[in-house]
Amino acid sequence: MPKLNKLLIPLLIAVLSALPLLGCEPIPAPESTTRLAPQHTPTPEASPTGPSATPLSTPRSDTVSHLDPTGAQITLWHAFTGADEQALLALTSEFNAQNQWGITVKPEYGGRYRDLHRKTLAAIAFGSPPEMAFTHHSQVAEYARADVIQPLDAYLAGEKYGLSAEELGDYFPAFLAGDRYPAFDDELLSLSPSLEMEVMYYNVDILNDLGYENPPATWDEFKAMCMDATRDIDGDGLNDTFGYAVSPSGSTFAGWVWSRGGELLSKDGQSVMFQEQGLEALILLKDLIDNGYAYRAVVKDGDRLDFAQGKVLFVFDSLEGLRYYSAANAEFEWSIAPFPHETAKPIVGMYGPTLCVFKTTPQKQLAGWLFVKWFTEPEQVARWAVAANRFPVRRSAVETETMKAYFEENPLYEEASGFLEYARMEPAIAGWQKIHDAFYKAVMGVASGQMGPEEAIYEAVEEAEGILAE
């Protein structure tokens, strides 16, 4: 066995303790994580995840242009299956056949995200990480703690292999800033090709029948519409339609906080900031449920099913739902909107897997960067976004023929592209998935009637503070 780096001993201990689980199915995640790309969340303010976050740094000297990546062979670990995996295989094959350096990228499926994370920790502990991985931002931050992630700023700024000012300006600022990590001097430690969006779905027919022309712009309007939509249509003494079907989700909770003008964490990612607005959101949730205007969907995807059957006016869901509701052939008109908000502009949360490069050799690190650079070019990110119903991270990708054709087939997806200016990304910190799960538990506690808003927010804050202190 090669000599272990002292920094990696804690990782090895964690991996060894998890080894009995590696041959089994992963521990079931809360319902909320099935819609998390699974890492959520979209920043006009000066937070580490917004458009005004730390700008791209410029290295003092060009440290990469002298390198030659010719003939490098690199592995790319991922957790994709189905259409996502097929799209990834097709794109990597194209890169392998066309790149001028003869670089070969070999995608390898590493299991679901939890299994992939365990596998990566084990590889890091034994000094043999992959050259690249598609993973969550919080996990990139964990790997960076062991000093095994290669920062990308030098490659971005390199004269020979970098990006021009025009190319950099083509990235949506919130997305690019979302790949900067506050615990590591806001270095760019990953780059996301495409991201998922969390929106509000609404039943246009019910809305119009109630006398409203537009979806709610504020939370007061949301409550009023939920009240009006809760009706006994057939006169049997039981309500047939409701305002809101609740599927507890950490990403939805994040949107509730942002849309009330709050922040999830401080700019440096060290302090909890969601107490006040999170409590306001949970108080509204309890009010709606206690008065029968909203209810918790108790079966998996029950909110989607009830919305597709015309039973509820509102649900909060990712854009993945566009395919679900379209396939359900709902017999009514429905649409999407950003969250109701108390801020000057609306908010939509965005999340999704990101690409990172591990520290291996200078040649392989450069080869990894060149693949990331190619993968995030407009045509490639457009194809990748369409495969998974996500949004590309570059403005010009929206203008490609690939995206235009998809917009024509999916007009609501095109409408959602107009929300990109309101995007916010969840913090890129280690432990974020655990904090995200704490949000889920707070919403679940109130929605199920097991906790009051004050108790739920107290426990979420306490749990988040404990995670940040680790």
Clarify whether residues 212 and 179 are in a common domain: no
Q: What is the pLDDT along the chain (470 residues), one digit of tens a residue?
A: 333 444 443 444 344 344 433 333 333 333 333 333 333 333 333 333 333 343 444 445 789 999 999 999 999 999 999 999 999 999 999 999 999 999 999 999 999 999 999 999 999 999 999 999 999 999 999 999 999 999 999 999 999 999 999 999 999 888 999 999 999 999 999 999 999 999 999 999 999 999 999 999 999 999 999 999 999 999 999 999 999 999 999 999 999 999 999 999 999 999 999 999 999 999 999 999 999 999 999 998 899 999 999 999 999 999 888 888 888 777 899 999 999 999 999 999 999 999 999 999 999 999 999 999 999 999 999 999 998 888 899 999 999 999 999 999 999 999 999 998 899 999 999 999 999 999 999 999 999 999 999 999 999 999 999 999 98
Biggest CA–CA distance in the chain, Å, is 78
Rounded to whole angstroms, how far apart are CA atoms 217 and 235?
Answer: 31
Clarify whether residues 119 and 209 are in a common domain: no
Clarify whether residues 337 and 259 are in a common domain: yes
Clarify whether residues 83 and 224 are in a common domain: no
pLDDT of residue 54: 39
Clarify whether residues 169 and 301 are in a common domain: no
In a domain, residue 165? The reply is: yes
The 8 Å CB, 24+ separation contacts for 372-376 are 372/132, 372/152, 372/191, 373/155, 373/161, 373/163, 374/95, 374/99, 375/91, 375/95, 375/193, 376/191, 376/193
Q: Report the DSSP beta bridge partners of residue 197.
A: 350
CB atoms within 10 A of CB 142: 24
In a domain, residue 30? The reply is: no
Encode the chain in three state secondary structure: CCCCCHHHHHHHHHHHHHHHHCCCCCCCCCHHHHHCCCCCCCCCCCCCCCCCCCCCCCCCCCCCCCCCCCCCEEEEEECCCHHHHHHHHHHHHHHHHHCCCCCEEEEEECCCHHHHHHHHHHHHHCCCCCCEEEECHHHHHHHHHCCCECCCHHHHHCCCCCCCHHHHHCECHHHHHHCEEHHHCCEECCECCEEEEEEEEEEHHHHHHCCCCCCCCCHHHHHHHHHHHCECCCCCCCCCEEEEEECCCHHHHHHHHHHCCCCCECCCCCCECCHHHHHHHHHHHHHHHHCCCEEECCCCCHHHHHHHCCCEEEEEEECHHHHHHHHCCCCCCEEEECCCCCCCCCCEEEECCEEEEECCCHHHHHHHHHHHHHHCCHHHHHHHHHHHCCEECEHHHHHCHHHHHHHHHCHHHHHHHCCHHHEEECCCCCCHHHHHHHHHHHHHHHHCCCCCHHHHHHHHHHHHHHHHHC
Report the number of distinct structural domains present in the chain: 2
pLDDT of residue 331: 85
pLDDT of residue 60: 52
In a domain, residue 419? The reply is: no
**pTM of the full structure:** 0.84
pLDDT of residue 319: 87
Clarify whether residues 314 and 272 are in a common domain: yes
In a domain, residue 49? The reply is: no
Domain span holding position 87: 57-192+352-399
Clarify whether residues 91 and 178 are in a common domain: yes
Clarify whether residues 359 and 309 are in a common domain: no
Clarify whether residues 366 and 256 are in a common domain: no
In a domain, residue 81? The reply is: yes
pLDDT of residue 26: 34
Q: How many CA atoms lie within 13 A of 185 on its CB side?
A: 5
Clarify whether residues 308 and 203 are in a common domain: yes
What single-letter amino acid sits at 61? Answer: S
- CATH number where 366 lies: 3.40.190.10
Clarify whether residues 188 and 212 are in a common domain: no
Clarify whether residues 260 and 158 are in a common domain: no
In a domain, residue 206? The reply is: yes
- Torsion angle of C-alpha atoms 250, 466, 137, 146, degrees rounded to 10: -160
In a domain, residue 317? The reply is: yes
Rounded to whole angstroms, how far apart are CA atoms 312 and 230?
Answer: 8
Contact 178, 137 (CB under 8 A): yes
